[in-house]
Amino acid sequence: MRPDQSPVIRLSEYRPPDFLIDHVALDFRLHPSETIVEAVLTLRRNPKGRAGAALALDGEDLTLLAVALDGKALPGSAYEAAPDRLVLPDVPDSFTLSVKTQINPAANTRLMGLYRSNGVYCTQCEADAFRRITYFLDRPDVMSTYSVRIEAEKAEAPLLLSNGNPVGGGDIPGTTRHFALWEDPHRKPAYLFALVAGDLDGVTDHHTTPSGRRVTLNVYVEKGKGDRAAYAMDSLIRSMKWDEEKFGREYDLDLFNIVAVSDFNMGAMENKGLNIFNDRYILATPETATDQDYHNIEAIVAHEYFHNWTGNRITCRDWFQLCLKEGLTVFRDQEFSSDMRSRPVERIANVQTLRAAQFVEDAGPLAHPVRPQQYKEINNFYTATVYNKGSEVIQMLRLLIGPAKFREGMDLYFARHDGEACTVEQFIQCFADVSAYDFTQFMRWYDQAGTPLVTVRDEYDAKSGRYTLHFRQETKPTPGQPEKLPQVIPVQLGLLDDAGNDLVADDLVVIEGVETTKTYENVPARPIPSLFRGFSAPVRVEIDRQPRDRLVLAAHDPDPFNRWQALQDVEIDLLKRSVAGIRAGQAPLSDPLLTTAIRRLITGSDGDPAFAALAIALPRENEMAREIAQDVDPDAIGTAVTALWKEIGQGVSDIARATYDRLAKPVPFSPDATSAGKRALALRLLNYLIAANPAEGAALALAQFERANNMTDRANALWALVTADRPERDQAFAAAEARFREDPLLLDLWFTLNASIPGKAGRDRVQALLKHPKFTLANPNRVRALVGAFATGNPRGFHAADGAGYRLVAQVIGEVDGKNPQLAARLATAFRTWKALEAGRRALAEQALRGLVSPERSRDLSDILERTLA
């Protein structure tokens, strides 16, 4: 293949900027296709930079209109200008530079920089898209104060927003235009700049901080959607209170605005004082949002708000330090959700996400450390490794030094580095200073890619009562890192007897070498070890256990995570053997002991229905592919998983039906965690009932769809029907299309449901729906809902043995790349597991990938293709 010619950016080559920008004054004269931007930059040489260096400003797709130095217009001979660069070879040590550019928001289909979404002007500048607005030192270690003037047609944009506090505005005499003035007193890098201008609805509330600051809160949404913003506002207020209580962090402006738009590449963006959201993560009413939507809104509103301190007040020195803000803030939003809901359920869900996205990433060609050492396109490193594994590193840090020292270290970090652009080393040093813990080896979690495998064996001497655990760690080579060093791995554990009673209630073993041994004396009987309680480290674990021991843990382990994990281990082991047998021409396997365990969970589900819903769910097909890891046959996996659902369903159908009937009775909707848990359990029971008796189960699902008084029950009925090849599915899906047609987010759900129908049937629907009048490549949500859902959530369809799924997705990726390279690159990551497939599919996937390679491809997509094919 033709290698991507983009330059490689390396952490080892970091150098401070040659210039600093103390203040930025921006003047926007908004126009759909001819927006004029005038930037006045107050610059000075950086004493840490290169003496006498030229001023080189970044740009992208800009039309330069004028340049002035200290108020004097410069001739073209005084600078070198290109759409992506503005160089002034001879400038004084301190000066003011004025740059006037023209941009075209309406034509900006990349949705990076300043663009239009349904008539609303908005921005997305992270990581390096501020350069698409004006020439700038577009790097996070250049932090400036900002003043902004926005001018627009009053009729089309009555609301004019930017960062900070409003300080003026009004009509422009003799015109139909008006203006607004904004000032942000807090220094920030350019990626946190934001502008929104449009005609929006909104809700307003207030929050008073412990120090007495009264903050005005606004959530703005597109016209006609104002009634769907209340839950986001409630989540914001709870987030502010939680951060005050748990981390001592108060908000620092008089105004906090959230704006939700329908065309957005990301989930949300934490711009200082003006968060911009994909409206999927803001809009909610019981009739339009599911329990998962409510959960996501709560978590993402919190995440973006928490960035005010972990990301904005203290930002990254360079983009290699991205985990410094994202991993830390994911940790904070996970803690928030755990306090708002069920901590055990949240922990299990977070680990499921980590394994589904990050473990797969670590095992494939796109593996990279939490802090990458190099990149070609930084947009491709907003990954599960940086975010989710980055959060797990913080979890381990807290476990190693304890909650009190962790809070002390966070307080020191905020006090020591407020207003700075920092590195991971500076962050970790704060915890070293308060705890005296030596983090030298721990830093490998940031710099070494791959998921460690911890192999455990045990010995018991009945005569002496001595019990010994032997731990051995190994991390396989990853791209660019053939040799691996041992990690610091904290193991929270306990020892149980055969009846599930504690022999050792709780212990912490820290693995530091390749091999570590832990011995316990006076143990009265051979124990069952409960290892990595609470998922105390992001590792894979291998231990030779009898199914009976796992079932004891599933029934009695005091750690809820390990109760769930033990049952998963039984199911994974059974399904692995079943898949191997199916490929050898044998019938799928089942286990009556497993059915009994599931039955017991359903019977006792009243105490914690949300936990029961997680515990009785079998591993997904993608999870089994990850566990099998090589020579993967998605069809054999699908056959094994489907057969096990049916076998267990038939064994629990009576108690499942009785419990479902009780849970499915219509009640007034509430998004609280307990109510959501009951609805989740009802869905899992419906899955079993459909698997056991498709005709009877599908009739139940259709009846639930028709009588539902909230979107969760309605959507759950549709999800249950996805696997039912029955007339009821077609009837419900047709009714859903008619009902959802005019609501973009609900129609996205309908597209995803169709894309999730297993195998060829789902692929045929995707092919047809690409021509649906409501499908468009211009909206990232719609593309993700149909093509992304198919590629990542329909393994038998995407991995069709004839390669049709690969060709379909590759075709769409190629079409999207010309419009939105970031979206195309994200879609292409669906191929990251291709080397783990059996030979026939592997060859077809490679063929589809190589067919995408072209000199005309974007930098974003070329980077993913090159690394995936390497």
Just list the catalytic residues: 304
CB 285 within 8 Å of CB 221: no
Euclidean distance between CA atoms 779 and 191, whole angstroms: 23
Given the structure tokens 């719609």, which residue do they identify?
A: 782
Tell me the pairing of strands 274-278 and 255-261: parallel
Helix (H, G, I), strand (E, B) or coil at 269: strand
- The 3-class SS string of 614-639 reads HHCCCCCHHHHHHHHCCCECHHHHHH
Report d(CA 157, CA 733) in Å as an integer. 38
The phi and psi torsions of 791 (rounded to 5 degrees) equal -70, -30
- Which residue carries 């396989």 as its tokens? 476
Q: Compute the distance between CA of residue 228 and CA of residue 288 in angstroms, rounded to an integer.
A: 9
* Residue 436 falls in which region: left (phi positive, over 0), alpha (psi -120 to 50) or beta: left
The span from the CA of 850 to the CA of 831, in Å, is: 12
DSSP 575-625: HHHHHHHHHTTPPPP--HHHHHHHHHHHHTTTS-HHHHHHHTSPPPHHHHH
In DSSP terms, 518 is beta-bridged to 469
d(CA 217, CA 234): 10
Between the alpha carbon of residue 821 and those of residues 113, 265, 460, 783, 812, the distances in Å are: 14, 10, 58, 13, 12
Task: Give burial (CB, 10 Å; 0-12/13-18/19+) of 51.
Answer: exposed
What whole-number distance in Å separates Cα of residue 428 and Cα of residue 440?
10
542: DSSP letter: E
* Closest alpha carbon to 165 in 195, 149, 185: 185
For residue 127, whether the previous peptide bond is cis, meaning omega lies within 30 degrees of 0, is yes
The answer to whether the beta carbons of residues 562 and 530 sit under 8 Å apart is yes
| CA–CA distance, 105 with 103 (Å, rounded to integer) | 6
CA distance 122 to 487: 44
Query: What sign does the CA torsion over 265, 266, 269, 274 have?
Result: positive
* 3-state SS string for 98-165: EEEEEECHHHCCCCCEEEEECCEEEEECCCCCHHHCCCECCCCCCCEEEEEEEEEECCCCCEEEECCE
As given in the structure block, the two tokens for residue 580 are: 């191997």
- Bridge partners of 421, per DSSP, are 315
Neighbouring residues of 343: CB distance < 8 A, sequence distance ≥ 6: none
| Contact assessment for residue 570 and residue 594, using Cβ atoms and an 8 Å cutoff | yes
Q: Give CA–CA dist 762/756, Å, rounded.
A: 6
Q: Residues 768, 726: contact at Cβ < 8 Å?
A: no
CB 310 within 8 A of CB 318: no
CB atoms within 10 A of CB 870: 11
Cα 647–chain centre separation = 35
Residues 697, 686: contact at Cβ < 8 Å? yes
